[in-house]
């Protein structure tokens, strides 16, 4: 058994967790060691909190996408842990949506992260008619619009984020 202080240091996280590059677990990481006899070595670390997976280590929650980048030694992860930068899921179609594979994650500023989200092709779909449908959910309500090009559909989605006068 491995004893943790409140939270966990980078060294402790490296001792307890390892990447699951086959991504057989949804979180992208698995337990390498147990620290209180409740973790099964080799099993997925973390649970889904809706959109993201989290791991609780001795009373403190950690987002698994941040832990993945810590485990691979990505430059900038210290600034993420301090809240100065954020981890962005690239979601370019190479990996499943919100995959925690290291190649689907990048460290960026909050402003850039929001910009990428607004310009994303997610939420657009080519219809059999050749038109593009844009879909977005805001404040629990689904909005859709049809456009002749994907660029117009993306622009419409982006405009939905902007406050109206």
pLDDT tens, position by position, 40-67: 999 999 888 777 889 988 788 889 999 9
pLDDT tens, position by position, 70-128: 999 888 888 888 888 999 887 665 666 678 889 888 898 888 777 666 555 567 877 77
The ranges assigned to domains in the chain are 10-118, 124-161
Query: Token pair of 135, please?
Result: 């879909």
- pLDDT of 157 > 50? The answer is yes
What is the arithmetic mean of pLDDT over 127-142? 80
> How many angstroms separate the CA atoms of 39 and 36, rounded?
7
Q: What is the pTM assigned to this prediction?
A: 0.67
C-alpha of 18 from chain center: 17
Query: Token pair of 137, please?
Result: 């959910």
53-57, strands of its sheet edge to edge = 47-48, 53-57, 60-63
> How many angstroms separate the CA atoms of 2 and 119, rounded?
44
């Amino acid at each position: 058994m491995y004893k943790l202080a409140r939270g966990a240091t980078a060294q402790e996280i490296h001792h307890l967790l390892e990447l699951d590059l086959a991504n057989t677990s949804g979180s992208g990481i698995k337990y390498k060691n147990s620290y209180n006899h409740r973790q099964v070595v080799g099993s997925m670390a973390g649970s889904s909190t809706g959109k993201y997976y989290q791991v609780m280590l001795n009373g403190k929650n950690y987002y698994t996408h941040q832990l993945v980048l810590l485990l691979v030694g990505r430059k900038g992860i210290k600034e993420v842990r301090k809240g100065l930068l954020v981890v962005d899921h690239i979601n370019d179609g190479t990996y499943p949506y919100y995959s925690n594979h290291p190649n689907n994650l990048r460290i960026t500023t909050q402003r850039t992260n929001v910009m990428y989200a607004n310009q994303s092709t997610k939420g657009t779909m080519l219809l059999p008619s050749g038109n593009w449908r844009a879909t977005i959910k805001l404040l629990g309500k689904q909005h859709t619009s049809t456009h002749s090009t994907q660029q117009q559909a993306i622009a419409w989605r982006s405009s939905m984020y902007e406050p109206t006068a």
